[in-house]
């Protein structure tokens, strides 16, 4: 019955000038049409809804219906691809988002995937085959037909209600541009990100360099935590540490080991003393000298502030009372990132704000015409040799603006903010000299802006 309902919906669109408006729960409705994409029939969705992937094969929808028929109570969790990888709590392998990605997009366990559930669920609900639950998608009970159903499906479900309906007009207001030469509207998503949509979708997991021998310095190895670290990661000579492995330590509440691992993963200085020939002034040595109980106390406080949504307070706490010797904001945002990564209570995910993502954020603000934020957070001074930009003293506010903008852009693109941050971070300029390295591309945006200045 439900598959028949969906087929009727497809036929209805074809007879309606190949157009249909799909309502959403919290956003403006979007338009769809049916197209043939290299021999595959599917829905073409407005670019403002799915900028990186506008084509949805029709087979996906019949597949989801079949899975719902097989599911207990004909209901499945939607899945949250914005914040989790496949297999993590929040995006379990039996969620709609995950099963579609695995079946149709060659995704696997631990992969981050674009958010497709909103489009899939809303089209299925519009067709009349399904309905929204609380965090779920379920088959419709045909005793309660929807007013949004196409006429044919209304007749099929309830022949006492054969009236004809016409799709409501879409507001179609997101991402509109003002074309007047005298006025430019602030864009919701940077053009740079939209143009690189395919690269972001197909980007392999970030691969930080292998852990170098400098961390095996005898003085470091005198600390028990370093023995524990190398026991936990025994093959570092051949395999680099992945983000998911660091986050897993925090999920397992191995907080101190997680902290040390996050610092090493991020490449904290382990060889250059702040004072000549004074080993004790090396950043990593200063970190290891910190009391473990104090570090864990700081981590608990950071988690508490993030759960409460107090991101600026958290940033300022780590810069004052919770200051860790040898760690600047580029590294304590790494700590914030890994603490928030797996915690479902932390809705707005902290991100890493270092030299490269700070550069990238400036470039993306330029690309979206957000001059007020540029003036508010950046001094305008740049170091062309070292490719760095200068932030003002209100770094905590810049950081909060960064994670909220990144979350907004990622949502519009249908990906997680973490994946977006990985992309704009780019690759080492020493190992990747290509002009397509995001570090180089985003730096060019900054230079063009300065030259126009």
Model pLDDT for residues 437-450, shown as the tens digit of each residue = 999 999 999 999 98
Domain that holds residue 305: 201-452
188 falls within a domain? no
Note the pLDDT of residue 142.
Answer: 66
15 falls within a domain? yes
Same domain for 130 and 276, yes or no, is: no
**Among 124, 157, 174, residue at a domain's last position:** 174
Same domain for 386 and 286, yes or no, is: yes
Same domain for 410 and 286, yes or no, is: yes
In this prediction the pTM is: 0.74
Q: What is the DSSP string of 268-322?
A: --SS--SSTT-GGGSHHHHHHTS-HHHHHHHHHHHHHHHHTT-HHHHHHHHTTTT
Buried b (16+ CB within 10 A) or exposed e, 122-132: bbbbbbbbbbe
Note the pLDDT of residue 171.
Answer: 31
320 falls within a domain? yes
Note the pLDDT of residue 305.
Answer: 97
Same domain for 55 and 170, yes or no, is: yes
Q: What's the rounded Cα separation, in Å, for the pair 202 and 106?
A: 11
What would the pLDDT profile of 22-53 be if each residue is shown by its tens digit?
998 878 899 999 999 888 999 999 988 888 78
Note the pLDDT of residue 144.
Answer: 56
Question: 281: pLDDT confidence band, cut at 50, 70 and 90?
Answer: very high
Same domain for 230 and 120, yes or no, is: no
Q: Structure tokens of 98?
A: 């995950």
| 8 A C-beta contact, residue 43 and residue 33 | yes
Highest mean pLDDT among 6-10, 396-400, 416-420: 396-400
190 falls within a domain? no
Same domain for 269 and 163, yes or no, is: no
Out of 65-74, 234-243, 359-368, which region has the weakest mean confidence (pLDDT)?
A: 234-243
Count, residues in the chain? 453
| 8 A C-beta contact, residue 34 and residue 14 | yes
The radius of gyration computed from the CA coordinates of the chain, to the nearest angstrom, equals 25
| Mean pLDDT of the chain, nearest integer | 87
Number of domains the chain contains: 2
pLDDT at 313 over 90: yes
226 falls within a domain? yes
Angle at the Cα of 273 from the Cα atoms of 396 and 388, rounded to 5 degrees: 40
Same domain for 166 and 206, yes or no, is: no
Same domain for 98 and 213, yes or no, is: no
| 8 A C-beta contact, residue 105 and residue 86 | no
| pLDDT over 70, % of the chain | 89
What would the pLDDT profile of 86-112 be if each residue is shown by its tens digit?
998 899 999 999 999 999 999 999 888
| pLDDT over 90, % of the chain | 65
Q: What's the rounded Cα separation, in Å, for the pair 56 and 414?
A: 14
Nearest in space to 116 (alpha carbons), one of 79, 161, 65, 164: 79
Same domain for 273 and 367, yes or no, is: yes
218 falls within a domain? yes
179 falls within a domain? no
Note the pLDDT of residue 450.
Answer: 87
356 falls within a domain? yes
Q: What's the rounded Cα separation, in Å, for the pair 100 and 119?
A: 12
Q: Which whole number is the average pLDDT over 171-178?
A: 29
Same domain for 417 and 269, yes or no, is: yes
Q: Among all chains, which residue has been given the structure tokens 């603000």?
A: 365
Same domain for 394 and 442, yes or no, is: yes
Same domain for 251 and 131, yes or no, is: no
How deeply is 299 buried, as exposed, middle or buried, from its count of CB atoms within 10 A (0-12, 13-18, 19+)?
buried
């Amino acid at each position: 019955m439900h598959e028949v309902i969906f087929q009727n919906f497809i036929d209805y669109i074809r007879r309606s000038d190949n157009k249909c408006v799909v309502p959403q729960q919290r956003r403006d409705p979007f338009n769809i049409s049916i197209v043939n994409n290299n021999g595959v029939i599917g829905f073409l969705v407005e670019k403002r809804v799915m900028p990186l992937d506008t084509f949805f094969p029709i087979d996906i929808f019949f597949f989801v219906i079949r899975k719902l028929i097989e599911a207990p109570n004909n209901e499945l969790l939607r899945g949250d691809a914005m914040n989790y990888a496949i297999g993590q709590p929040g995006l379990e392998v039996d969620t709609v988002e995950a099963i579609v990605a695995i079946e149709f997009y060659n995704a696997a366990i631990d992969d981050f995937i674009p958010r497709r559930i909103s489009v899939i669920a809303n089209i299925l609900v519009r067709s009349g085959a399904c309905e929204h639950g609380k965090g779920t998608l379920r088959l419709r009970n045909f005793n309660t037909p929807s007013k949004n159903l196409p006429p044919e499906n209304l007749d099929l479900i309830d022949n006492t209600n054969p009236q004809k309906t016409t799709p409501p007009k879409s507001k179609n207001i997101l991402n509109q541009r003002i074309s007047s030469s005298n006025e430019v509207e602030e864009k919701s998503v940077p053009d740079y990100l939209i143009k690189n949509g395919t690269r972001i979708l197909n980007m392999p997991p970030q691969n930080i360099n292998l852990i170098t021998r400098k961390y095996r310095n005898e003085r470091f190895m005198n600390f028990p935590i370093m023995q524990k670290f190398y026991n936990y990661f025994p093959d570092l000579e051949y395999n680099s540490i992945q983000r998911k492995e660091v986050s897993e330590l925090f999920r397992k509440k191995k907080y101190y080991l997680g902290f040390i691992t996050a610092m090493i993963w991020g490449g904290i200085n382990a060889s250059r003393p702040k004072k000549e020939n004074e080993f004790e002034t090396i950043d990593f040595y200063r970190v290891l000298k910190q009391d473990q109980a104090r570090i864990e106390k700081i981590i608990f406080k950071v988690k508490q502030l993030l759960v409460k949504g107090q991101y600026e307070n958290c940033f300022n706490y780590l810069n004052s009372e919770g200051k860790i010797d040898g760690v600047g904001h580029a590294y304590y945002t790494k700590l914030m990132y890994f603490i928030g990564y797996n915690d479902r209570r932390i809705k707005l995910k902290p991100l890493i704000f270092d030299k490269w993502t700070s550069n990238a954020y400036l470039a993306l603000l330029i690309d979206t015409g957000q001059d007020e934020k540029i003036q508010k957070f950046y001094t305008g001074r740049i170091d062309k040799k070292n490719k760095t930009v200068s932030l003002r003293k209100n770094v905590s506010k810049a950081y909060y603006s960064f994670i909220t903008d990144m979350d907004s852009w990622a949502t519009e693109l249908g990906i997680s903010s973490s994946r977006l941050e990985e992309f704009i971070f780019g690759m080492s300029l020493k190992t990747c000299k290509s002009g397509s390295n995001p570090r180089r591309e985003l730096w060019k945006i900054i230079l063009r802006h300065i030259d126009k200045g």
